[in-house]
Amino acid sequence: MDTRGIIFDRVSLSYGRQLILENIVLSIDEGEFVCLLGPSGAGKSSLMRLLAGLAAPSSGEVSINGERVAGPGLDRGIVFQDYTLFPWMSAGENIVLALRQAFPHQLGWQLREVAEEFLDLVGLDQAFHKLPSHMSGGMRQRAAIARAFAVNPPILLMDEPFGAVDAVTRAKLQDLLLQLWQREGSERPKTVVFVTHDVDEAMILASKVVVIGMNPGRVKEVRTIDIPRPRVRRELYRNDRFQLLRNHLIELLQEDVMSELSSDRTVCPPGDGI
């Protein structure tokens, strides 16, 4: 049995009496760009926390290259929606701090050079000394992405990282992420696991989409996105294959949404006010 890559082996997660994830069976190959797609509340972020080592499964096992995930590690970089930059440190200092933890034997000037290189790659060549409070949301997220790639982990975990920015900035950050993911020369690209509830975002980014159902969270379908790269937006929406896949994924998501709307939990009993 091939144990390379990421494997969720019959993983369930409960908080108290509430079952969040049930019997997750999933494999992610090295170098894949996988989007976890599902409605809010489906357990996507909980699944990501298990992979990051920030939570432990109630049953089953999460493993990376045959080793059980027992906690956080430098083999996994994480980018969250809320940027997670230390506010009292500049963009460059945030990156240097992460580099110092990952490469403790490198000299300060070497770490600074790497930080400057990755800030330049994300279009922040003038932002080394800028505090997060003096940067826009899109700039802060680019700095967080630069930090994650600078540390050079083989696995990058991204939990709805573009959810708090406007549509234009979101599209630019998506393109930037793909450029960095594919910027590995002759080496295999990083493995990226990306949480989203946006079907278009998943199809633009992913090589494989994992649709997560809800109540409790479960894998409904795994679908390969076999559309050639680079994926140009204005061409994608005229692509019949893209439209078929997009409509199929939307239907899968709507099944759970309609089920929730038709349940008694979403309707006020007679006589109840709002």
Q: Where do the domains of the chain lie, and which CATH numbers do they carry?
A: 1-75+157-168+191-265 (3.40.50.300)
The arithmetic mean of pLDDT across residues 66-83, rounded, is 87
Report pLDDT digits (tens) over 251-265: 998 887 666 666 655
Check residue 111 and give its pLDDT. 95
Integer Cα distance of 35 and 58 in angstroms? 24
For the chain, list the strands marked E by DSSP: 6-15, 18-28, 33-37, 59-64, 67-68, 76-79, 155-159, 191-196, 208-213, 218-224
Question: Which pLDDT band holds residue 24 (cuts at 50, 70, 90)?
Answer: very high
pLDDT tens digits, one per residue of 148-179: 889 989 999 999 888 877 888 888 889 888 98
Does the structure show a pLDDT above 80 at 128?
yes
Candidates 13, 133, 96; CA nearest to 62 is: 13
Token digits for 201? 């975002």
CA–CA dist 194, 34 (Å, integer):
6
* Residue 21 C-alpha from the chain's centroid: 18
183-241: pLDDT as tens digits: 755 466 789 999 999 999 999 999 999 999 988 999 999 999 999 988 888 888 889 99
The pLDDT value given to residue 274: 39
The model's pTM:
0.87
